[in-house]
Structure 1
Amino acid sequence: MTNLLISLFIKNKDRVEDSNVRNAYGKMAGIVGIMCNLFLFAGKFFAGVITGAISITADAFNNLSDAASSIITLVGFDMAGKPADKDHPFGHGRMEYVSGLVVSLLILMMGVELFKSSVGKVLHPEVISEQWISYMILVVSIFVKFWMYMFNRSIGWKIHSETMKATASDSLNDCVSTAAVFGGMLIFHYFHLNVDGVVGIVVACFVLWGGYESVRDTLNPLLGESPDPELVTKIKEMVLRHEMVIGVHDIVVHDYGPGRRIVSLHAEVPATENIMEVHDVMDHIEMRLMEEYHCEATIHMDPVVTNDEEVTETKKEVQDLVKGYDPDLSIHDFRMVKGATHTNVIFDLLIPYGKKYQQEKVVEDIKKKVKEEMPGNHYAVIRVDRGEQY
């Protein structure tokens, strides 16, 4: 069914890197979600009215909130597809994350209301009426929601959309919550125990948990999460495939929405290379990054002395001192400046995130080690970077 819908409504379905194709996937998923959830809401609301079961009614309004979520998702994909303009030079891609966050907040609000209503039914239980059609509606709902889970998960992985993955997770939670409602009705049928309010609380908890996970997954990209390590590794490997480049560091990835990334990095090249040739290679790498990974790249060229044995040996000594202090630390952009009375060794010190060091203390400790443990009169000039070593 999923493949049929994709074949019918998505042109160039395999070109998911194309923002227009990607938005088409999102819009199709939004429309499918609206139709399915409105259908389920109508059926469950009817079942809730004729039985008087708060758990079924709660589940119905859960589907109504999902329909509203699908509308917001649809609008979010439409706005995310708008091109860059004067006020938004990096495009509108993050609107997809914003829409996902709104969806998540709606789910949380619905969960709170369902929880309150269900607690009321526990404290003040009401008689419920059995109707065979309510069982049919619940069973159909479980199958429909499971299909929606598979559908949204497939789309989410295909177009790398956290919003669609969150929607899939919500659909799976709906399967479990509806199954709990169905189980509660069976308990009433066979054991004459009214657990309607308790089941309603269980449903509300599933809704709240799904809302929490969705908030977490959509808020991180808005705040600026760490780039995908696999993407960073691929970028580094691609840059290093060029013989002129002997090292890469300070890779920064700015995410302005799916398919809208801006990358900056430092590429180390031998200081003896012709500057015009280096510039041409850097331009070529930037174009390759755009072609292969759809990243707008800016590369800073760092000249490195490679034919001076003294510089090479001194750099190794400094690296050993830094690794002796902490194996997780590393250096780059190493240079030496000799003077009449002393030699400055200049380098950047990379301190990974998560290290609880006081930055000033680390710098002073390493400066002291360089001065005391290296032969000759050496002084360290250190600039600190915070980041991850890829």
Structure 2
Amino acid sequence: MTRSQIIVRTGVVGILANVLLAVFKVAVGWLSHSVAILLDAINNLSDALSSVITIVGARLSEKPADKEHPLGYGRVEYLSAMLIAGLVLFAGASSLVESVKKIITPNQVSYSLPMLIVVAVAIAGKLLLGAYTKSKGKLTQSGALIDSGSDALFDAVVTGATLLSAVATLIWQINLDGWLGVVISLVILKAGLGMLSDTLNDLLGKRVSPQLAEKIKASVCAVPGVLGAYDLFLDSYGPQKQAGSVHIALSNRLSADEVSRLARRVSATIYQEYGIVLTCGIYAVETKNKAVMALRDEITAVAMKYKGVLQVHGLYIDEPSKLISFDVVRDFSVKDVDGLISNITAELTRLHPEYHYHIQPDLDLSD
């Protein structure tokens, strides 16, 4: 079964389960005059709509790449997740308004044992649906499915609180319906904001996970002839399509043909192991001239003394033009980047005035 088929099948299960649960809750809420249960039913219907959006998004994301979108339509799934988050937020806001009205003008709430049994069954159904949907979301790397599964598990907890309120009403004759509706609404709103934040992070671009960055760099450096891997950057074009770049350090003694072969081998290795399209930039490294290597180590030590400097790489000494160039990776806490570069340049100029310096500030893109 393909990824899209799994998502569609899970979405269909979600639609059927949520519609069935909504019917049960509407019946119980109507008979008991419970706004909390009725709001739960509305939330189930919004969950069913979320499943519809997930299915449509999965289908659209499968469209083949074209001239206008050479990397495909994978990001449509992010838009689907965004719409789901919007639906959850709308449901939460609507529920909050109705709950406040219920607190101001409370209605008499009546429960019976059969009604409580139906609510308990609904809780069990939501727990099963949430676990099932979330597991399929993780399997397919579908943010929309993961969000839907998490939302279903939240719903189970919320409905459990409704059940406790009903028990309190039966035993102590205390009407907590409106107040519980407020709590339910706030939980829904919090979940919606979390989903929206996660999706926005995907659209804006996230830092490569330390585990993945470590694995990719290790794979790059495992290619014979590669002396180091730096500036790893990945961009996502859907849950299963990533492209990016990396700088690889190679001996300056290699010919252009040898450099080309190595770069191609690195790109092929990363694609085979991770399915990532990776472009390689080149840093030439002196591997034999001990004087140049000693100067490189000295310059690196000077730059690394400064607060906020995380790494120095790509250092190249052009003796004919007396130009030394290198990259400085700085922490995001460094605000005065120009000042940092100026201070490093000034100290190096005092130590070795015979050289000119070109220092490129680099972002801390990955671990």
Q: In the alignment, which residue of structure 2 is the partner of 1:378?
A: 355
Total equivalences in the alignment: 367
Tell me the distance in 1 between the aligned counterparts of 2:111 and 2:123. 19
When the two chains are superposed, the root-mean-square deviation of aligned CA atoms in Å is 1.6
Q: In the alignment, which residue of structure 1 is the partner of 2:139?
A: 158
- TM-score normalised according to structure 2 size: 0.96
Shift of 1:389: 5.2
Tell me the distance in 2 between the aligned counterparts of 1:279 and 1:22. 35
Shift of 1:268: 1.1
1:306 pairs with 2:283: no
Q: In the alignment, which residue of structure 1 is the partner of 2:296?
A: 315
Matched-pair contact (CA < 8 Å) for 1:50–1:131: no
Tell me the distance in 2 between the aligned counterparts of 1:107 and 1:375. 62
Q: In the alignment, which residue of structure 2 is the partner of 1:3?
A: none
Cα deviation 1:49-71 (Å, max 9, x = unaligned)? 11111111011101111111111
Which of 325, 329, 332 pairs up with 1:346? Answer: 325
Which of 116, 140, 150 pairs up with 2:97? Answer: 116
- TM-score normalised according to structure 1 size: 0.90
1:335 pairs with 2:316: yes
Shift of 1:153: 2.1
Higher RCO (C-alpha under 8 Å, 6+ residues apart) = 2
Q: In the alignment, which residue of structure 2 is the partner of 1:5?
A: none
1:212 pairs with 2:190: no
Range 97-106 or range 259-268, more displaced: 259-268
Q: In the alignment, which residue of structure 2 is the partner of 1:359?
A: 337
Q: In the alignment, which residue of structure 2 is the partner of 1:197?
A: 178
Q: In the alignment, which residue of structure 1 is the partner of 2:202?
A: 221
Q: Any gaps of 5 or more consecutive residues in structure 1?
A: 1-10, 12-20
Shift of 1:355: 1.9
Tell me the distance in 2 between the aligned counterparts of 1:113 and 1:267. 54
Range 96-105 or range 354-363, more displaced: 354-363
- Output aligned runs, 1:270-309, within 5 Å: 270-309=251-290
Identity between Structure 1 and Structure 2 (%): 28
Matched-pair contact (CA < 8 Å) for 1:80–1:93: yes
Q: In the alignment, which residue of structure 2 is the partner of 1:245?
A: 226
Tell me the distance in 2 between the aligned counterparts of 1:371 and 1:299. 32
Tell me the distance in 2 between the aligned counterparts of 1:236 and 1:338. 30
1:56 pairs with 2:37: yes
Q: Any gaps of 5 or more consecutive residues in structure 2?
A: none
Shift of 1:186: 0.7
Shift of 1:376: 5.6
- Output aligned runs, 1:80-99, within 5 Å: 80-99=61-80
Which of 20, 33, 36 pairs up with 2:14? Answer: 33
Q: In the alignment, which residue of structure 2 is the partner of 1:368?
A: 346
Tell me the distance in 2 between the aligned counterparts of 1:338 and 1:60. 75
Shift of 1:377: 3.0
Shift of 1:275: 2.1
**SS in structure 2 opposite 1:383?**
strand
Shift of 1:210: 1.1
Cα deviation 1:189-233 (Å, max 9, x = unaligned)? 011111111111111111111111111111110111112222221
**SS in structure 1 opposite 2:234?**
strand
Shift of 1:41: 0.4
Shift of 1:356: 2.8
**SS in structure 2 opposite 1:377?**
coil
Cα deviation 1:81-113 (Å, max 9, x = unaligned)? 111112211111111111001000110011011
